[in-house]
Amino acid sequence: MFNELINFFNDLIYFIKYVIKGSEFLLNSVDKRLGFVIIFIFGSIFGSFINVLIYRLPLEMDFVFKGSFCPKCGVPIKWYHNIPIFSYIFLKGRCYYCKQPISIQYPIVEFISGIIFGLLYLKFGITWDFFVLCMFYIISVPVIVIDFKYQIIPNELTIGGTIIGLFFALLKSLLSFQLDSSISLGFLDSLLAIIVNVILFLIIYYVSFGVYKKEGLGFGDVKLAATIGAFLGLYPSLVSFFFSFLFGSVLGLIIMFVNKIINYKKVNLLRKYVFSSIDYLSAISVVYVVNTDIDKKNSVYIAFGPFMILGAWSSIFLTNFIIDILFGDYLLF
């Protein structure tokens, strides 16, 4: 029994190895522009899946086996009406059956996902880091949108994401001798990161609860800290929290400032302002103000999940950049 399990695992590792090697060979040897187009198509298909997650997870609907359907009339969507980006254009943004408008969010998420996958491919090629970051991206976008809209982060994303991240780290440990990778050091690193981050965020959770007598963070944020740890490993995830709190407090200050100028009773005025505003940053902060429950003490709740995700991606791409600026080569001369 135990031997069979080990054999199965060995086969699995060889299979994964050949999938990676095969796609590496195919896509790293073709022209980068052609590769980008191919990866863009894959990315937009995953973008379509991300839309499914965004819609279904908060409603606690099956997101694996249940086929696509129109959220307005419930009619199942034919595959040729479900082609990323193109179907939205051909159907002129309306359901084929009930003619109700389809949210512009669908083609936007599909397009952005295609672009992000393509950019990750250009930067990393078909490598382990590419697969890990694509996976992390698939978790990132629903966390941002759902936490922003509903102020919750579904367990499927946080606990599910932690398990997936840890599984990737385990595979990395097992495959490490043949992988060229810089993200997460492997299984033990990820496991340590999960434990440390959960303890750290629980401390923040209870301290802020003790000081402010209300939730400063949600439990979703604690679980998300574990997910980020599982994917990035200990040190980069700690760096990511630094970025998160930095971004979060900057927006918090902007919100307090906006709040001071514009009395919170004039929320409806704010709504008009959002749609007429071209200033993106103030628009985002105003949306946050409108979207948040402002209690009688005039304090606001800021969904922190989006900042944690933003911090994680900043940690991935900016850490070396900042270290270069601070301790870069040119300082040696």
Residues making contact with Zn ion (CB under 5 A): 70, 72-73, 95, 97-98
Where helices occur in 186-218 by DSSP H, the ranges are: 187-212
CB of 147 within 8 A of CB of 224?
A: no
Distance of closest approach, residue 91 Cβ to Zn ion, in angstroms: 10
Four-residue CA torsion sign, 181, 185, 191, 192: negative
Where helices occur in 57-127 by DSSP H, the ranges are: 86-90, 105-124
**CB closer to Zn ion, 69 vs 242:** 69
**CB closer to Zn ion, 15 vs 69:** 69
For 60, 72, 82, 98, the CA distances from 77, given in Å and listed in that order, are 20, 12, 7, 12
Distance of closest approach, residue 101 Cβ to Zn ion, in angstroms: 10
Distance of closest approach, residue 68 Cβ to Zn ion, in angstroms: 11
Distance of closest approach, residue 44 Cβ to Zn ion, in angstroms: 22
Structure tokens at 17: 């190895």
**CB closer to Zn ion, 76 vs 328:** 76
Q: Is 47 exposed, middle or buried (0-12, 13-18, 19+ CB in 10 A)?
A: buried
Distance of closest approach, residue 69 Cβ to Zn ion, in angstroms: 8
**CB closer to Zn ion, 59 vs 261:** 59
d(CA 97, CA 74): 10
Three-state SS for 119-170 is: HHHHHHCCCHHHHHHHHHHHHHHHHHHHHHHHCCCCHHHHHHHHHHHHHHHH
Q: Is 204 exposed, middle or buried (0-12, 13-18, 19+ CB in 10 A)?
A: middle
**CB closer to Zn ion, 63 vs 97:** 97
Distance of closest approach, residue 74 Cβ to Zn ion, in angstroms: 7
**CB closer to Zn ion, 73 vs 281:** 73
